[in-house]
Copies of this chain bind each other. A is one copy, B any other.
Amino acid sequence: MCRWLGYVGAPIHPRELMHDPERSLIEQSRRHATDMALPNGDGTGLGWYANREEPALFRTTAPAWGDENLLELATEISTPLFLAHVRAGTGAPVQQTNCHPFRYRNWLFVHNGYINRYPDLRRRLLLAVRPDLFGNIQGSTDSELMFHLALTFGLQEDPLRGLEAMAGFVEACASEAEIPDPLQMTIGLTDGRTLHAARYASAPVVNSLFVSEDVESLRALYPEREGLAHFADDARVVVSEPLVHLPGMWREIPAGTALSVGFSVEARPFNPRLPDALPAAS
């Protein structure tokens, strides 16, 4: 089970969310929660937007908790929109190209979950990727492939529809191959303006996902927490697990739901559906 975090709002230093909180993403990566079997020590990544349309990427196979470069970077840079990820591998090798976020032009993508029996489905799914996108696949994870399937199915025009079509297609291929419970996912996705998040699984148990409630209320509730004081009114954080356990701070995103976080937070159902044009099984 991976963990990830997305932020959108006035520029902050990523370490304010990645390293500093009591249950920061980095701390989560190694200090086990009661329900956590394994550490997230199989790579980490940070993608952020600052001076260019295209996001910058830092990815490393080193566990996040000991990586000096990540701490330096998260302290130094300032960004209004970023995605961070700590990986617990589910079979694909520990290598930089398997670290999240994945990038395509101005888009970033992170994933927590898996495609069940991925080795049995990989070839079929890879063939469905649009040939001009194929060269952008550099690693061997299910996550990166899911991103490129969603791109194939129109993610750039309609992000949530693209994700739904990806999910529908994966489920259809799994069904063909008689593979049960094919998909487990929370996804973070952004084009540099809006932060999208989706929580979905083919089976009843679904990885968790939370969005921060409005910052104004937080400020009133926790005036002594300086760390929160300078967050702007429209700042929002999406996380796979709460960074601090404060009553009223985090709203759980229901399973089967997608979120778009820009100036406001919009939720809508997430319904996997087949892409309009189904790629050939070749």
By a beta-carbon cutoff of 8 Å, the part of chain A in contact with chain B is 30-32, 37-39, 41-42, 50-52, 56-63, 65-66, 68-69, 72-73, 75-78, 89, 93-97, 119, 122-123, 126-127, 131, 134-135, 138-140, 280, 282
Residues in B neighbouring A93, C-beta threshold 8 A: 66, 68, 95-97, 138
Measured CB to CB, the closest approach of chain B to A72, in angstroms, equals 5
Q: Report the separation of the CA atoms of residues A41 and B59 in the bound assembly, to the nearest whole angstrom.
A: 18
Measured CB to CB, the closest approach of chain B to A81, in angstroms, equals 14
Q: Which of B77, B122, B126 lies in contact with A77, CB distance below 8 A?
A: B77
Copies of this chain assembled into the complex: 4
Q: Is the CB of B38 within 8 A of A31?
A: yes
Which of chain B's residues has its CB closest to A89's CB? B66
Measured CB to CB, the closest approach of chain B to A149, in angstroms, equals 15
Q: Report the separation of the CA atoms of residues A193 and B65 in the bound assembly, to the nearest whole angstrom.
A: 32
Q: Which of A38, A95, A282 has the most CB of B within 10 A?
A: A95
Which of chain B's residues has its CB closest to A97's CB? B93
Residues in B neighbouring A30, C-beta threshold 8 A: 38-39, 41
What would be 7 A-B contacts, judged by CB atoms less than 8 Å apart? A50-B76, A58-B72, A58-B73, A73-B73, A95-B95, A127-B282, A140-B140
